[in-house]
Amino acid sequence: MFTATKGKALLTTTTGALPRPSWYTENLRGAPLSTGFAHRSYREQHFDCLSCHVASQHRAGIDIMVDGDTRLDDDVAGRAWVSYVYERIAGVGAPRVQVQPSAAMRDRGPGDFIWEVIETRMTPHVERAIGETSLQLDRAWKAIAPMTDRPVKIGSASAQVLVHMIANSHYRDQIAFLDALSDAFNREYHALADAGAPIVQVEEPGIHQNIHVPNAPISPAQYVAAFNREVKGLRAKTEVWCHTCWGSPGAQKMYAADVSYEKALPWLDQLDADVLTFEAATNGGKDIPLIGKAIGKDKKIAIGVISHRTLQVERPEEVAAMIRLCLQSIEPERLILTSDCGFGRQSMSRMHAFYKMVSLVRGTNMVRRELGLPEAPIPATDANLSMVPLAR
């Protein structure tokens, strides 16, 4: 159900990960979040980091905040986006020195950025039936919720991502493994929704990334069924978002430069989600007309209008131009503006991420003004607070 975005047009947000302060040095290393919160130094670092994220998003004028994925460990190229999850699933063993099942090794070798990423990815096995999970997403949300009156979006790598990163030494086939993981994740998301989280974001379905893979063991229809199993019952309690992009370890695109969502769109439209997000800034919005045509009116669409793969901060005018392109195919009340993917995962500096958010909101305000919609205040642009004189 629509909650945070209900009845609102052109809201802004980002995907989830944010670069963290340099003093954020302690990692959970498999410990439950609740254990970390009981350790004074970790607790202080975590909560202070959340405060920094809230302050920066407030200064940028962002409507729907994220928690920066603050619970994740600071690992090479964002490994913790996956390892945080598999470290907290009963039935999954300790990681082994082994290449993961779906490593993007084709056409790559020593000397490639992604090869070094693969070298750092240890692979666990599912050794017995999936049991209890302790992601504590509800706790992650409760930590940030009191810090702002704006809605906060909490997301996690999905069962579909995990099934490609964990070796299957127990289930009869990948579908059985995926179903078990999907059920486990469903319980975690319900706990998050029951805690009061207005938005739950599932990152991401396997459809668009695997539809290009010859002889893929899981079909698009099976991915759809599994995703809908993973989010079953959630839309009665909260707003469900599904994030899609073309991969982001260290901000690297895992597919060809001209890869398209086109073939995946009919399947993505079948997902039981309120909002679908799409990477678009990286290729100038090439797929936007297709997305507008293919995704049903029952869903909202969040389009990436700022890129996580570039350090050059987009100009607000460029963001506004992308938004106008979106509006040719997507109604304002169904359109949300976001980043292509998260800004963490060993990529840009806090300053870059911050000014990309500012530019996102400035560009959105330009279009809001044209449409007669209320503009978001952006404290970062307040001329009275400039530390240097404006006129020369």
Partner 1 sequence: MISKDKKVAVGVISHRTLQVERPEDVAALIRRCLKVIEPERLILTSDCGFGRKSMSRMHAFYKMVSMVRGTYIVRRKMGLEEVPIPATDPALSMVPLAR
- State the residues that interact with partner 1 by CB under 8 A: 76-77, 99, 103, 105, 109-113, 115-116, 118-119, 250-253, 308-312, 346-349, 351-352
| Residue 308 or 334 with smaller CB distance to partner 1 | 308
Least distance to partner 1 from the beta carbon of 355, Å? 12
| Residue 99 or 366 with smaller CB distance to partner 1 | 99
| Residue 8 or 350 with smaller CB distance to partner 1 | 350
Least distance to partner 1 from the beta carbon of 113, Å? 4
65 φ, ψ (degrees, to nearest 5): -90, 165
| Residue 139 or 345 with smaller CB distance to partner 1 | 345
DSSP state of 4: T
| Residue 329 or 347 with smaller CB distance to partner 1 | 347
Task: Give the type of residue at 206.
Answer: G
Least distance to partner 1 from the beta carbon of 232, Å? 35
| Residue 107 or 298 with smaller CB distance to partner 1 | 107
Q: Where are the beta strands (DSSP E) in 7-94?
A: 11-12, 65-66
Q: Which of 58, 48, 20, 279 is nearest to 151 (CA)?
A: 58
Token pair belonging to 124:
């666990």
| Residue 283 or 365 with smaller CB distance to partner 1 | 283
DSSP string, 30-52: T--HHHHHHSHHHHHHHHHHHHH
Q: Which of 202, 272, 186 is nearest to 235 (CA)?
A: 272
Least distance to partner 1 from the beta carbon of 250, Å? 6
Task: Give the type of residue at 166.
Answer: I
Any idea which residue has 């995990």 for tokens? 162
Least distance to partner 1 from the beta carbon of 53, Å? 19
Least distance to partner 1 from the beta carbon of 119, Å? 4
| Residue 2 or 355 with smaller CB distance to partner 1 | 355
- Run of H or E residues at 157: strand 152-157
Least distance to partner 1 from the beta carbon of 336, Å? 24
**Cα 66 to Cα 56, 81, 312, distances in angstroms:** 11, 15, 22
Token pair belonging to 333:
């009340």
Which residues face 154 on adjacent strands? 200
| Residue 111 or 296 with smaller CB distance to partner 1 | 111
Least distance to partner 1 from the beta carbon of 350, Å? 9
Task: Give the type of residue at 55.
Answer: A
Q: What does the H/E/C string look like for 208-273? A: HHHCCCCCCCCCHHHHHHHHHHHCCCHHHCCEEEEECCCCCHHHCCCCCCCCCCHHHHHHHCCCCC
Residue 56 CA, chain-centre distance (Å), reads 18
Least distance to partner 1 from the beta carbon of 343, Å? 10
Contacting residues for 44 by C-beta, under 8 A, at least 6 apart: none
Distance CA(386)–CA(91), nearest Å, equals 55
